Amino acid sequence: QSALTQPRSVSGSPGQSVTISCTGTSSDVGGYNYVSWYQQHPGKAPKLMIYDVSKRPSGVPDRFSGSKSGNTASLTISGLQAEDEADYYCCSYAGSYTFEVFGTGTKVTVL
Amino acid sequence: QVQLQESGPGLVKPSETLSLTCAVSGYSISSGYYWGWIRQPPGKGLEWIGSIYHSGSTYYNPSLKSRVTISVDTSKNQFSLKLSSVTAADTAVYYCARDFSGWGFYNYWGQGTLVTVSS
């Protein structure tokens, strides 16, 4: 099972919006609505930002939103802030043999 | 507040077995949820290793399945990872985490522990 494909990096100025894509197959992203997104600052553990494609855990700002179309999921950060600069990983359920697969990761830079 | 803490040797020799334990506080493992291990090689992305349900059912990454064993000790409120026949490619930060769904939604994580495979 290959990792889900994410762009290596995206960037934006404070206040702008950025979108990170996560491309898989019909066996993972496209086959289930079990996509999650994690934020990871350097030297820190990942933090759950989105689950079930578009749900936000308590405490996650509503600037973070998720969506899915076909085999591609997306994370959008609106009103970009300096503290949003981090690595972001998607994750998808991939069935009862592979179970879970992470994306390749995207570095978000706030200009 | 739920807290997870990994522990184990930071250095393992090639061909030996890597053993880590995750101590859980603030929640009883026997009460439910899935408990997983995820690793991250230096400068690289996350890789799911496997998970265990509170009842003891296990789920492993197919690419690691032949070398991985995850177990739970409810009396000590901890779960463990064993990875056999390690090579330098197994050098990584190893995280333990709680999955509240069984679909890979990890809402509590340990701080991570670096394990280096080297002679």
Amino acid at B96: C
DSSP string, chain A: -PPBB--SEEEE-TT--EEEEEE--TTTTTT-S-EEEEEE-TTS--EEEEBTTTB--TT--TTEEEEEETTEEEEEE-S--GGG-EEEEEEEE-HHHH-EEEB--EEEEE-
Q: Would you call B116 an interface residue with chain A, using a CB distance cutoff of 8 Å?
A: no
Tokens 């509590």, residue?
B108
Could you tell me the strand order of the sheet in which B68-73 lies? B3-7, B18-25, B78-83, B68-73
pLDDT at residue A98 greater than cutoff 90 = no
Paired residues of A91 in beta bridges: A36, A102
Mean pLDDT of B6-25: 97
pLDDT at B81 (0 to 100)? 98
* Residues B62, A1: C-beta atoms closer than 8 Å: yes
CB-nearest partner of A102 from B48, B105, B112 = B48
Tokens 């949003």, residue?
A84
- Torsion angles phi and psi, residue B9, rounded to 5: -60, 140
* Residues A102, B46: C-beta atoms closer than 8 Å: yes
CB-nearest partner of B104 from A3, A47, A100 = A100
pLDDT at residue A8 greater than cutoff 90 = yes
pLDDT at residue B54 greater than cutoff 90 = no
* Rounded CA separation A44/A54 (Å): 24
**What pairing do the DSSP bridges indicate for beta strands B11-12 and B113-117?**
parallel
State pLDDT tens for residues A31-73.
999 999 999 999 999 999 999 999 999 999 999 999 999 999 9
